[in-house]
Amino acid sequence: MLVFLALVSVALVTIAPQSQAIVIYTGWERHALVGSEVRLSCSFFSWRWTSEDVTFSWSYRPDGSRDSISIFHYTGGLPYLDNKGPFRDRLEFVGNPQRRDGSILIKNLDYSDNGTFTCDAKNPPDIVGRPSSVRLLVFDKLPVQAGVITGAIIGAVLGLLVLIVVIYYLMRFLVARRVFNLSVSKHGKKAKGKEGSQQRQGPALYAALDQSKLKASASEKKKQESRKDKK
């Protein structure tokens, strides 16, 4: 049984591919100003440890052109820069191959630098992968990016919603306070009306009592006089 498992393991190792796909990453689009510099990043993903034979290659295709030219190559631990092309004395290798970074820096940008930059990487034995491209656009003034505009619109809408909610609850509070004050004033007026009516009824009651007393005393006097006359 152990011999059988050993034979199966050897067969699988023999059949298994010795290389796997490598995935390369660059940015999608970069904007920069005339006369400034821009870093074009390139990295890769591989299942294997970074090889000492790792390589990076950069090519450039100007806008309006179908042909690409090689502008940079890294192999055998050494960078090879373009000394004759459009980026002569303006290109610098700023990557770290052992960290899977093959970034380059382009200085003193001009409008003629607009185009597509393509990065390819190999990490032997992983050498099968699709190169990744990034487009460079050079401007006098950097345009407002769509993400900034979208963020500003979303922020404005959220701010407006918050303002509407605050105004709504403030109006509810003011209306409730107004209703409370009106109810309190109505009860106060009723209480004052009752007190006033009681105060107005007090003298009238006293006057009526005095008149009844006077009438009673007058009738008593008449009775006494009538008694005297009879005697």
| pLDDT tens-digit series, residues 152-189 | 778 888 888 888 988 888 888 888 877 877 777 776 66
Residue in the block written with tokens 């100003």: 33
Beta strands 91-93 and 69-75: pairing type? Answer: unpaired
Residue in the block written with tokens 């009438």: 215
Indicate whether 5 pLDDT > 50.
no
Let me know the angle formed at the C-alpha of 92 by 72 and 70, rounded to the nearest 5 degrees. 15
Indicate whether 199 pLDDT > 70.
no
Reported as a pLDDT band with limits 50, 70 and 90, residue 53 is: very high
Nearest to 38 by CA among 118, 96, 92: 92
Strand-pairing partners, residue 80, are 73
Which of 63-67, 153-157, 187-191, 199-203 bottoms out in mean pLDDT, i.e. has the lowest?
Answer: 199-203
Residue in the block written with tokens 């491209």: 133
More confident residue, 176 or 50: 50
HSE-up (13 A, CA, CB side) for residue 185: 6
Other beta carbons within 10 Å of 202:
10
What single letter denotes the amino acid at residue 207? A
Say if CB 35 and CB 109 are below 8 A apart.
yes
Q: If you average pLDDT over every residue of the chain, what do you get?
A: 81
What single letter denotes the amino acid at residue 160? L
Say if CB 90 and CB 108 are below 8 A apart.
yes
pTM of the model: 0.56
Q: Exposure string (b/e) for 19-47, b if CB count within 10 Å is 16 or more? A: eeebebebeeebebeeeeebebbbbbebe
